[in-house]
Amino acid sequence: MKKISVIDWRIDDIMGEYIRGVVVKLHLTHEQEVMFKKNYGCTRKTHNELLNKYKTKYGEDSTKIPTKKELNQFLKESKKELPYLCETESTSLQQARDDLHKAFKNSLKSKRHNPPKFHSKKKTRPSFRQTIQKEKRPVKNNTVTLRKYGKVTFSTSVEYLDLLNHPNTKFNNITVYYDGLNHYASFNIKTTPPEQLPLTKIHIGCDINSNKNGWLVTSKGQKEFFDIYHENQMIKKINRLMSRCRKGSRRWKKLQKRLQKWYNKRTNQLKDYIEKLTYNLVKKYDTIIFEENYNTIKILIGGEQNMIFPLSRFIKRLKDKFQLYKPEAEGVQFVKSHNTSRTCHHCGHINKELKVKTRNWKCPKCKKTFDRDVNAAINILNRWFNGD
């Protein structure tokens, strides 16, 4: 069975433990599925009601952060006004309240975080979160016990099943969500840190591209390709078929499930690829150097845009894995990106006439022939060594 990737982690210095997330697939009965979907809707409704009461009290453009006591009072009022909220699991509504309070605090701390917005049914992923009582273990073998919903069976790999059943594993909370086809549970757990990887004293430079030569090229000549062309073509095909059907018909609903399946497959492939590639890079190298001003790139396959690759997520996972597996290593470093492709790494001559489409070029001074991207990756590595 395919392993479920790690969602998140952080080191806990006091306890000597680290927090991670493990996702499992749930297998629900019909009654449980109905109750879950009701809880999804009530959690979203709670968020919107609390936000609406806040804006009614303080105004649309207010920057004041409400206290937990105020939000709790809003929650009590909402339960009186909407009695059906009391029919769902209570801690999930309290978690929605706490998430809203955290969103207000984050919007004040950094400009990157926008003020809280209303959750729409179409754009918000259906989910709810339950807390775990201290010294209680919700998992036994392949069964998880959820408040109000009873025992639910799940499936995952043997490795993660053993981790969830380990006596030293402590559970913080459980997030249940729906991806349009299946229900999943994400366990937030505390466990012992994994063994650290040995230092290799090997460093590489990495050049990021948007061409057929590989989206990532290293100074060692390694080229990385990520191809989901088939998945994209299937998504386009199903969208064309859906456009010919009446919306809401039986065939339209059947195609909608197929479409969601391909969307999920594409997303899971990307997550799995990033997790495996980042771990392998951290295992091999102590320092990985990139150019500054990275964001996203368009990966091309056969001259056609295949996808927009999330570079920010990729580099963040690299930093996380260095902190977890090699905290003493240099980790991810950055250098200036000016003329990395045009500069000959052998003699230092800058070829100002080099065009963007030229993938291989010959240095006019030393007569050496280079692969454009490998040459750029070597220059990136050399700039870090020279402290530029």
What is the rounded distance in angstroms from the CA atom of residue 304 to the CA atom of residue 114? Answer: 34
Report the mean per-residue pLDDT for the chain: 86
Query: What is the per-residue pLDDT across 275-301, written as a single tens digit (0 to 9) for each?
Result: 999 999 999 999 999 988 766 566 655
Does residue 68 surpass a pLDDT of 60?
yes
pLDDT in tens, 223-265: 888 888 888 889 999 999 999 999 989 999 999 999 999 999 9
Q: Which of 159, 191, 223 is at the close of a domain?
A: 191
Of 191, 212, 242, the domain-final residue: 191
Spatial CB neighbours of 153, under 8 Å, sequence gap ≥ 6 = 26, 27, 142, 143
Quote the crossing angle between the two packed helices 250-284 and 229-243, to the nearest 10°: 160
> Do β-strands 150-155 and 143-146 pair in parallel, antiparallel, or remain unpaired?
antiparallel
Q: Is the pLDDT of residue 5 over 50?
A: no
Q: What is the pLDDT of residue 13?
A: 42
Identify the pLDDT of residue 16.
Answer: 53
Domain boundary among 191, 220, 244: 191
Please give the Cα distance from 51 to 172 (Å, whole number).
Answer: 26
**Checking DSSP bridges between strand 223-224 and strand 216-218, what pairing results, if any?**
antiparallel
Q: Could you tell me if 212 and 339 lie in one domain?
A: yes
Residue 249 lies in a domain: yes
The residue behind tokens 């955290």 is 102
d(CA 94, CA 97): 5
The rounded distance, in Å, linking the Cα atoms of 39 and 178 is: 11
State the pLDDT at residue 361.
Answer: 80
Separation of alpha carbons 331 and 31, rounded Å: 49
| Whether pLDDT at 15 is above 60 | no
- 153 lies in some domain: yes
Query: Using an 8 Å Cβ cutoff, are 155 and 27 in contact?
Result: yes
Q: Are residues 203 and 170 in the same domain?
A: no
Strand duo 143-146 + 6-12: pairing: unpaired
Q: Say how many domains are in the chain.
A: 2
Q: Is 2 exposed, middle or buried (0-12, 13-18, 19+ CB in 10 A)?
A: exposed
Whether residue 165 sits in one domain with residue 115: yes
Range of the domain at 265: 197-388
Q: What is the pLDDT of residue 8?
A: 52
For the whole model, what pTM was predicted?
0.81
Q: Which amino acid is at 288?
A: I
- Assigned domain for 1 exists: no
Rg (CA), the chain: 25
